[in-house]
Amino acid sequence: MKKVNIPKGTRDYSPDAMARRRYIFSTIEDVFRLYGYQPIETPAMENLDTLLGKYGEEGDKLLFRILNSGDFLSGVGDDQLHRENIARLSTQISEKGLRYDLTVPFARYVVQHRNEINFPFKRYQIQPVWRADRPQKGRYREFYQCDVDIIGSRSLLNEFELTEIIDKVFERFGMNIDIRINNRKILAGIAEVIGEGDRLTDITAALDKIDRIGADKVNEELRSRGLSAGAVKKLQPIIQLSGDHTRKLEHLGRILSGSETGIRGVNEMSTLFGYLESQDLKASVELDLTLARGLDYYTGAIIEVLSTDVQIGSVCGGGRYDDLTGIFGLEDVSGVGVSFGADRIYDVLQQLDLFPKKVITGTRVLFINFGTAEEKYILSLLPAFRKAGIETEIYPEQAKLKKQMSYANGKGIPHVALAGAHEISRNILTIKDMETGRQQELTTDQAIRHVLESKDA
């Protein structure tokens, strides 16, 4: 037989994996909806001029491009059709690409539909994205993102609400998490007061690695990025501030008193923590001054969520951005959003055995097919089971009982219904519970009640 395969870094989802993934998405969606967020979807393909230049040089290289259909060389002159022209050529023969994330398509969506949208716009979006990354363990070329954003409002109630949503989502999963929060304006203030106001990107890029490489290596990197020894020294007490957020914010208020931006950041965080204290959150929320995250479009709050029980990196993260739609010419639309990492959440739930038992809602009753007369009897009973909402099958072939039972086992079907001459003559069914092996003779009504009341229901 020919070897068939799927592209590297992609996956098939079989029924069991589908059921678990759906549990994850529907749990998240249920919480989003409770807070008034609504779903949108955008096309898998976007025009390349929408995508190019939005993810840095590295990101552009990771875009999957679609070859123009038909005569893809029609716009290419003979003099251009050579190896040295490859960069330009790729743009000439390809106008569209697969979406790389949900953020840029969302920005494009907001700009394109700005006249129909009722702002502030609360949307979520759960769709696959594609990246031509080198595939490796836990990194795929096709994976789902799960983004929730509110756009068109600068209120810190939104940051608060998203933090609460995070708390509720992971509470429903039964996952213990730590929520870390920082503020880009505080980071900017710090850079300012240590006299390196124009080196914010260098500072945050280095700080972002503190968990992975430790403070010493971060300091080394800061110096190698050109920060003065004095500035690096000044930075130490700030990033190692201890105590709870009240204490940290008090200190920062003093340290940053010379920076208008810094003080605004401190005030924003005080307001946000004020909201958070008024509610009863399950997770701990910590002000973490080393939190920077790679993306440099955040302008206010920065949020990151870690599993406390499994070391797997962040399971959710995001922040405030003041210029999402500016890349498409629509200025002054502020938003804040977070993204849930479905693949990592899947791994944590799997590892900690947190998936609910009944997440796989497959068939609940299999009718064994003994022959033509029995088939007829069964067909007269089936509609009542389905009308009662019970997933019910009849084995389609008149196969050996062993084969049919093994089908039931393989599919994890909890109840098997048997009807032979004995049952037909009495107008009953024998119901066998697959886990216990117990068999009972029941009328149709009794059998339906039995299935509905059994613990797998």
Positions in 8-47 near a copy of itself (CB under 8 A):
10-15, 18-19, 22, 33-36, 38-47
Cα–Cα distance, 182 to 249 (Å, whole number): 11
- Token pair for 311: 């070391």
The count of chain residues that interact with a copy of itself, using the rule CB under 8 A, is: 105
Say which residues have a Cβ less than 8 Å from residue 89's Cβ, sequence separation at least 6: 76, 80, 81
Q: Which of 286, 328, 346, 359 binds a copy of itself (CB under 8 A)?
A: 328
Burial of 441 (0-12, 13-18, 19+ CB in 10 A): middle
Please, is 300 exposed, middle or buried when counting C-beta atoms within 10 Å of its C-beta (0-12, 13-18, 19+)? buried
Q: How far is the CB of 118 from a copy of itself (least distance, A)?
A: 4
Nearer to a copy of itself, 178 or 375 (CB): 375
Calculate the CA dihedral of residues 123, 126, 128, 134 and round it to 10 degrees. Answer: 90
Site string for a copy of itself, 141-180 (x = CB under 8 A): xx-------x--xxx-xx--x-------------------
Residues 218-257 interacting with a copy of itself (rule: CB under 8 A): none
Give min distance, CB of 137 to a copy of itself, in A: 18
Provide, rounded to whole angstroms, the least separation between the CB of residue 178 and a copy of itself: 22
Instruction: Closer to a copy of itself by CB, 277 or 445: give it.
Output: 277
CB-wise, 135 or 313, nearer to a copy of itself? 135
Q: Supply the minimum distance, in Å, between the C-beta of residue 38 and a copy of itself.
A: 4
Q: How far apart are CA 310 and CA 354, in angstroms?
A: 12
What residues between 46 and 85 interact with a copy of itself by CB under 8 A? 46-47, 50, 61-62, 64-67, 69-73, 78, 81-83
Chosen residue from 58, 198, 280, 453 binding a copy of itself by CB under 8 A: 280
Binding-site string for a copy of itself from residue 90 to residue 129, where x marks contact by CB under 8 A and - marks none: x--xxxx-x---------xx-xxx--x-xxx-xx----x-
**Residue in 372, 315, 366 with CA at minimum distance from that of residue 340:** 315
Near a copy of itself in 376-415, by CB under 8 A: 376, 379-380, 383, 386, 389-394, 396-397, 407, 410-411
CB-nearer residue toward a copy of itself: 217 or 403:
403
Closest residue by Cα to residue 35 from 123, 156, 146: 123
> What are the DSSP calls for 256-281, one per residue?
TTT-HHHHHHHHHHHHHHHHHHTS--
Residues 6+ apart with CB under 8 A from 3: none
Closest CB to a copy of itself among 109 and 173? 109
Cα-flanking dihedrals φ and ψ of residue 67, to 5°?
-65, 130
Select the span of 233-241, 324-332, 432-440, 444-452 touching a copy of itself (CB under 8 A): 324-332
Q: Give the nearer residue to a copy of itself in terms of CB position, either 46 or 147.
A: 46
Give the DSSP letter of residue 136: B
Would you call the peptide bond into 120 cis, given omega within 30 degrees of 0 as the criterion?
yes
Name the segment binding a copy of itself (CB under 8 A); options: 252-260, 284-292, 363-371, 420-428: 363-371
